[in-house]
Amino acid sequence: MIGACIIRKLDEAIKIPPDFLNRKIKLELFKTQNTVVNFINSHRFDQHYDLQSIHKKEKDWRFVINQIIHSFIAMNSFDEENHFNGVFINSDKSKGKE
């Protein structure tokens, strides 16, 4: 979170190359299961999103930074051997979409 805020401030102050945040990254997204995500149940992301149906999209780093800064859901992901393999994150604005 702190790193994302620093990157945004550096971008606003034009201290990093303009194209830096325009670079694309491949993300894995999950469709919602049409449930209401709120502060009480946000930790149950597996009940709100269909984790079996992965679709991939390319987004720029600006999108990723905004997702982190405005995160409503943020949880580490681990594989079967308990090794870190990613982060589930969703912003307050997109939590009901994917």
Q: Measured between alpha carbons, how far is 71 from 11 in angstroms, rounded to an integer? A: 19
Instruction: Write the pLDDT tens digit of every residue in 26-79.
Output: 999 998 888 888 888 888 878 888 889 899 999 999 999 999 999 888 888 899
Residues 6+ apart with CB under 8 A from 66: 91
What residue ranges in the chain does DSSP mark as E strands? 24-32, 49-60, 71-78, 84-91
φ/ψ of residue 12, rounded to 5: -65, -30
**Which pLDDT belongs to residue 18?**
80
**Which pLDDT belongs to residue 46?**
83
Q: Please report which confidence band the pLDDT of residue 93 belongs to, taking 50, 70 and 90 as the band edges.
A: confident
